[in-house]
Amino acid sequence: MSGSDHPATAHTCLPEHVAIIMDGNGRWASTRGLPLLAGHRAGAEAVQRTVRAATARGVRWLTLYAFSSENWRRAPGEVADLTSLLRYYLRHKVAELSREGVRLRIIGDLARFPRDIQEEARRAEEVTRGNTRLVLVLALSYGGRADIVQAATRMAQAVARGELRAEQIDETVFASALLTAGMPDPDLVVRTSGECRLSNFLLWQSAYAELVFLDIPWPDFDATHFDAVLDIYSRRERRFGARPA
């Protein structure tokens, strides 16, 4: 049975929000003697499998680290391949997402992308706005530190305009200025390909997330692996700093 055909599994404690750092496309391609673009295409297929698995399992929010703010430093050819792949999926896969009840939300600095991609992204958000089965969040040109800085800047500007008093700023108010405003914090953060770090992903939001690191490269991730990380999560005891009873 393939991962995409794996039946839905009941989990005793289901995370509301799963966030994934999709790592390993390049290594997957290299070990197979394939061009880097083949790894990114296989990674895009893994995204589709994961969205289907999350929907089937009843996860309500899925955030994917699709393109970090640091990815702009990669070779121009790779950046061009990634943006072309993004353009293709925004143009040709959004209708399928909508049919499955998936709402698309995008966070990050979209202004760095070509104008047509910006327009396709906003169109995709609008087309899927009414869907409620799963919210798929794509982090594009996103960096956790930059997110915190822009939130602090917005707070400072609001204080300067007299719209907010400094003593009113608490964690809830600050979170409302982040790019993820209105979203629940991730319960579970998963990273593939053996690396054990957050790499500037949802730094504020992941303060109490459960972290799971997998050795497999992202293109190999399927519904079986998704079930495995849900099982790991269900066995964790989340205390949020409190002592166990």
Which residues have a catalytic role annotated?
23, 71
The answer to whether 69 is annotated as binding is yes
- Ligand-binding site membership of 60 (annotated): no
Annotated binding residue at 198? yes
Check whether 234 is labelled as a binding-site residue.
no
DSSP string, the chain: --GGGPPP---SS--SEEEEE---HHHHHHHTT--HHHHHHHHHHHHHHHHHHHHHHT--EEEEEEEEGGGGGS-HHHHHHHHHHHHHHHHHSHHHHHHTTEEEEEES-GGGS-HHHHHHHHHHHHHTTT--SEEEEEEEEE-HHHHHHHHHHHHHHHHHTTSS-GGG--HHHHHTTSTTTTSPPPSEEEE-TT--S-TTSSTTTTTT-EEEE-SS-GGG--HHHHHHHHHHHHH----TTPPP-
On whether 197 is known to bind a ligand per the annotation, the reply is: yes
Say if residue 23 carries a ligand binding annotation: yes
185 is in an annotated binding site: no
Is 27 assigned to a binding site? yes
Is 72 labelled as part of a ligand binding site? Answer: yes
84 is in an annotated binding site: no
Binding residues for substrate: 24-28, 40, 68-70, 72, 74, 191, 197-199
Binding residues for Mg(2+): 23, 210
Binding residues: 23-28, 40, 68-70, 72, 74, 191, 197-199, 210
